[in-house]
């Protein structure tokens, strides 16, 4: 029996070693896949054959024409998009789970439908609607509203477009979070204790969906910061469009901005995962 036990221990150790080796190989390949292009981009921004290594491209960011304006516009659009899409999606998903579970499939199809619509077709439809709407609504008071949502200082029409584009990702994040909790039991318990519906939503449901809400928010942030097609064809210049515009004359500067935006998103994701990890431990 002792010999068999020792043999089992040896075989278990031998089995674990190949698994650990394969994990290391997969991790190394994944790291090379992501880090080699990033390192090449960084080297392109700091090295030129004439001047050698220089960090002047990063120093130009603060004084570059349009950098602060485009970045602040994209961040404002991201915050507005996050607020609108969560206010629309979360109450609707809760209502369907509690009162109409048969409509869950219908909502899932509607929320994932933007994935099958090409962005160029989507923005062409928006442009056509805006042109026809201006002509149709010109004699009515809604004409001023239609013009206001296209204000270049803060184009609300981009917020509405981004809400549609990000809806599939937000839906999947919230749906995964709702699957991990017994929504009906929590709601019924809170309602039996006299809690109002706004209180149930803010103090009962939202705290249990922190991770899902964080995932949905940062997916939205990443999409808004990197979206180019809709904003460019509608004639606006948020951060992604500004990067492409600058790349025609200042290639190093545009790559430096892209790297910094990528690092910023990574740092935000790391901070959020750390915060929620500590909360789960507590």
Query: Cα–Cα distance between 23 and 29 in angstroms, integer?
Result: 10
Match 């390949």 to its residue by tokens: 29
End-to-end, the C-alpha distance of the chain in Å comes to 44
Q: Name 258's Cβ contacts closer than 8 Å, sequence gap at least 6.
A: 41, 243
* Residues 99/188, Cβ–Cβ less than 8 Å: no
Q: For residues 219 and 169, what is the distance between their CA atoms, to the nearest angstrom?
A: 7
Antiparallel, parallel or unpaired: β 52-53 and 47-48: antiparallel
Looking at residue 128, its pLDDT comes to: 86
Q: Beta partners for 48?
A: 52
The pLDDT, as a whole number, for residue 161 is 93
Question: pLDDT under 50 in the chain at which residues?
Answer: 2, 4, 7-8
Distance CA(102)–CA(128), nearest Å, equals 35
Q: Could you tell me which residues come within 8 angstroms of residue 86 by beta carbon, excluding any fewer than 6 positions away?
A: 170, 213, 216, 217
Q: Which spans in 100-236 are helix H?
A: 104-112, 119-137, 142-148, 156-179, 183-192, 197-199, 206-208, 210-226, 229-233
How far, rounded to the nearest angstrom, does the alpha carbon of residue 109 sit from its chain's CA centroid?
20
pLDDT of residue 89: 92
Phi first, then psi, for residue 52 (nearest 5°) are 80, -145
Give the tens place of pLDDT for each residue, 92-149: 998 898 888 888 889 888 888 888 888 888 888 888 888 887 777 777 777 778 888 8
Q: What is the pLDDT of residue 73?
A: 92
Taken in order of first residue, the domains within the chain and their CATH numbers are 67-281 (1.10.3720.10)
Tell me how far apart the alpha carbons of residues 77 and 71 are, in angstroms, rounded to a whole number: 10
Q: Which residue has the tokens 């599939």?
A: 168
Closest to 266 measured CA to CA, from 209, 228, 222, 224: 222
Region for 227 from its dihedrals, namely left if φ exceeds 0, alpha if ψ lies in -120 to 50, beta otherwise: beta
Q: What pTM was estimated for this model as a whole?
A: 0.79
């Amino acid at each position: 029996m002792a010999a068999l036990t020792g043999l089992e221990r040896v075989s278990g150790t031998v089995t674990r070693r190949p698994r650990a080796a394969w994990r290391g190989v997969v991790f190394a390949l994944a790291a090379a896949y992501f880090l080699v292009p990033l390192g090449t981009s960084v080297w392109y921004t700091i090295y030129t054959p004439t001047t050698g290594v220089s960090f002047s491209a990063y120093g130009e960011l603060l004084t570059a024409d349009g950098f602060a304006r485009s970045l602040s516009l994209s961040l404002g659009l991201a915050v507005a998009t996050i607020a609108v899409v969560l206010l629309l999606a979360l109450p609707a998903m809760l209502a369907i789970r509690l009162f109409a579970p048969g409509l869950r499939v219908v909502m899932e199809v509607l929320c994932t439908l933007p994935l099958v619509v090409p962005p160029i077709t989507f923005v062409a439809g928006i442009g056509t609607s805006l042109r026809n709407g201006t002509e149709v609504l010109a004699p009515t008071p809604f004409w001023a509203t239609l013009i206001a949502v296209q204000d270049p200082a803060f184009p609300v029409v981009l917020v509405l477009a981004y809400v549609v584009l990000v809806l599939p990702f937000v839906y999947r994040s919230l749906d995964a979070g709702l699957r991990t909790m017994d929504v009906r039991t929590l709601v019924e318990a809170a309602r039996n204790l006299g809690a109002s519906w706004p209180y149930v939503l803010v103090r009962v449901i939202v705290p249990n969906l922190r991770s899902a809400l964080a995932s949905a928010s940062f997916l939205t942030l990443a999409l808004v910061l990197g979206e180019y097609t809709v904003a460019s064809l509608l004639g606006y210049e948020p951060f992604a469009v500004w990067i492409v515009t600058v790349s025609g004359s200042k290639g190093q500067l545009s790559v430096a901005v892209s790297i910094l935006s990528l690092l910023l998103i990574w740092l935000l994701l790391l901070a959020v995962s750390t915060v929620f990890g500590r909360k789960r431990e507590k």
